[in-house]
Structure 1
Amino acid sequence: MKTKFPIHTTLSADAIKVLERYEKELGAKNVVLEKALLNLDSTRFKAKLDTQNIDRIIKRVTTGIPGMDDFLEGGFPKGFAVIVTGPPGTGKTTFSMQYLMEGVKNGERCIFFSFEERAQQLVQHFARFGWDVGKFIDDGYLEIFGISMLTSEEMMEIIDSHKPERVVFDSMNVLTAPSDFRTSTSWRGLHRLLKKNQTTAILVTEKSHGIEVKEYDDFDFLGDGVVFLDFIQTNDIDTTPMPVMAVQKMRATRVDHTPQPFRFTNNGIAKYRALNIPSKVLQDRIEKRRAERLGGGMSLDEV
């Protein structure tokens, strides 16, 4: 006698009893029926994509960085996970805080998960730029979790409960290694939740090299966008490095990848592309840094 196929359908218990009765009477002749039922049942695994009702207009989330939205067709696409990266001390946390403050000022719920700083330190950091975070926290628009020891599951519960429009994770390198990031089941669950809720997130990551090095990690590949912050010496007379940012990647957006200068002020990051320095000057400086790095005995593979 042929081996019985297991009954694996969404039929009711009564229907299964009927099949089992016929199997006792007819041997394995219900195999064809079971296969037919399985094929019908498998349709529940097929994605039902209604292309006619998909919004063709990409909604944008303003960044809070003056002038930057003009170069992003209005801001980050809603629901994107944007990597903000660069060497230490280049303004990644300030950029992220300013992004959240733009949200709370617009009446949006925001969450800041820090894996390196205490909540008190973060509040002090906010206050330095004149941002009254206490009011926004009291009003329920901002939640800050400092030196977060939360698991990804706990963060998912918080996000699912608060339903924030904006979230910052600072820094992802503390949460997971870049090589484990794309295959991590815990992160994939968190990533799916952000996408489901259309939450626009900033993932702060760390680089041990400058913008002149064309080297990317798994954070960069998975992110919908990548913004690189760095310092560049713009001329040989004034040796003071100038902060620059470059949008290296932004899906569904036309972008200028050339690094653009900005300034730190008492109110945060000042106007993007505020200083009248030709793009070629910055690009030449980056090329010079790259050449110096190679001339120092490093191979192209190391770069």
Structure 2
Amino acid sequence: MKTKFPIHTTLSADAIKVLERYEKELGAKNIVLEKALLNLDTTRFKAKLDTQNIDKLIKRINTGIPGLDDFLEGGFPKGFAVIVTGPPGTGKTTFSMQYLMEGVKKGERCIFFSFEERAQQLVQHFARFGWDVGKYIDDGYLEIFGISMLTSEEMIEIIDSHKPERIVFDSLNVFTAPGDFRTSTAWRGLHKLLKKNMITSLLVTEKAHGIEKKEFDDFDFLGDGVIFLDFIQTNDIDTTPMPVMAVQKMRATRVDHTPQPFRFTSSGIAKYRALNIPSQVLQQRIEKRRAERLGSSSSDEV
């Protein structure tokens, strides 16, 4: 028996079903084809998700910051773009380097794109903490691009060639203005590649205000997670500001948003939440700082 559709047909199974349905309903072939083509034109844009085969378990990437993974259910979700932000000098670049070093030690390929520091300066920064970056660069696990004047297209080519699992962009404020970030076609192409290849990236940004101010920019809204680094005074006796870190946002993760203290050491950022300071004490200090700054602003206006 001769089949209705030859084995060599270029029509997909979906297309055949549409043709058969309209042929049965309408009969006239020209109308059938017109309706079928219109139907195919709309259905081809529908997302086809095989929900049965989607991995329900979220894979986590170790951050390299001792203690932080415990607050993130095991680390950053793989493929996330995490914003690392805060005022100048709060350890954002150190945090990012430590994150990459965790990757290369595990045999993962990593890239550091800096838009404001020379590669030699970055290598010296790494070396300060005893990290032998030269070895990882020579072995092909780490690439560092300093004061990058690369276009987004060139960065896409580098990523396609190197096939990294971790990337740091430092700092995005130099790459693009916050207001243009989410609508930038250049960034959207780069962001699409990161998501497609499940590359877990840190996007370093700058804030002109401290952690006490509830103000967010377009970088924060686009990121899958936001980690804020700052210095605050934690008690009345010792007035020396202490470094703190707050996970302000992390999709698909239960987090404690309260800022927690950490320490800088000769080997990088030491244990997260290293000091036994109650969360409410830190929160009170932040509220006090916010009130002081608001009072200062009011007196300046007068």
Q: Same fold (TM over 0.5)?
A: yes
Unaligned runs of 5+ in 1: 1-9, 12-28
What is the RMSD computed on CA atoms of the aligned residues? 1.5
Name 1:171's counterpart in structure 2: 171
Q: CA deviation at 1:34?
A: 3.3
The answer as to 2:236 corresponding to 1:239 is no
Deviations 1:135-168 (A, max 9, x none): 0000000000000000011101111111100000
196-205 vs 229-238, which moves further: 229-238
Q: Which amino acid aligns with 2:294?
A: L
- Between the aligned partners of 2:294 and 2:190, the Cα distance in structure 1 is 39
Name 1:280's counterpart in structure 2: 280
Name 1:72's counterpart in structure 2: 72
Q: CA deviation at 1:44?
A: 2.4
- Between the aligned partners of 1:224 and 1:106, the Cα distance in structure 2 is 24
Q: CA deviation at 1:38?
A: 3.2
Name 1:256's counterpart in structure 2: 256
Name 2:6's counterpart in structure 1: none
Name 2:51's counterpart in structure 1: 51
- Between the aligned partners of 1:124 and 1:297, the Cα distance in structure 2 is 40
The answer as to 2:79 corresponding to 1:82 is no
- Between the aligned partners of 2:105 and 2:186, the Cα distance in structure 1 is 32
31-40 vs 249-258, which moves further: 31-40
Q: Which amino acid aligns with 1:101?
A: M
- Between the aligned partners of 2:48 and 2:65, the Cα distance in structure 1 is 38
Report SS of the residue matched to 1:254.
coil
Of all paired residues, the percent bearing the same amino acid is: 89
Name 2:269's counterpart in structure 1: 269
- Between the aligned partners of 1:280 and 1:164, the Cα distance in structure 2 is 40
Name 2:3's counterpart in structure 1: none
- Between the aligned partners of 1:33 and 1:68, the Cα distance in structure 2 is 60
Deviations 1:195-250 (A, max 9, x none): 00000000000000000000000000000000000000111221111000000000
Q: CA deviation at 1:61?
A: 0.2
Report SS of the residue matched to 1:245.
strand
The answer as to 2:296 corresponding to 1:296 is yes
TM-score, reference length from structure 1: 0.87
Equivalence map 1:1-303=2 (5 Å): 30=30, 33-298=33-298
Deviations 1:6-42 (A, max 9, x none): xxxx99xxxxxxxxxxxxxxxxx95763343232244
Name 2:20's counterpart in structure 1: none
- Between the aligned partners of 1:65 and 1:170, the Cα distance in structure 2 is 18
Q: CA deviation at 1:297?
A: 3.1
| 1:127/1:282 CA distance change after superposition, 3 Å | same
- Between the aligned partners of 1:163 and 1:45, the Cα distance in structure 2 is 29
- Between the aligned partners of 1:122 and 1:257, the Cα distance in structure 2 is 31
TM-score, reference length from structure 2: 0.88
Q: Which amino acid aligns with 2:251?
A: R
Report SS of the residue matched to 1:244.
strand
- Between the aligned partners of 1:247 and 1:179, the Cα distance in structure 2 is 23
Unaligned runs of 5+ in 2: 1-9, 12-28
- Between the aligned partners of 1:68 and 1:295, the Cα distance in structure 2 is 34
Name 1:19's counterpart in structure 2: none
Q: Which amino acid aligns with 2:199?
A: T
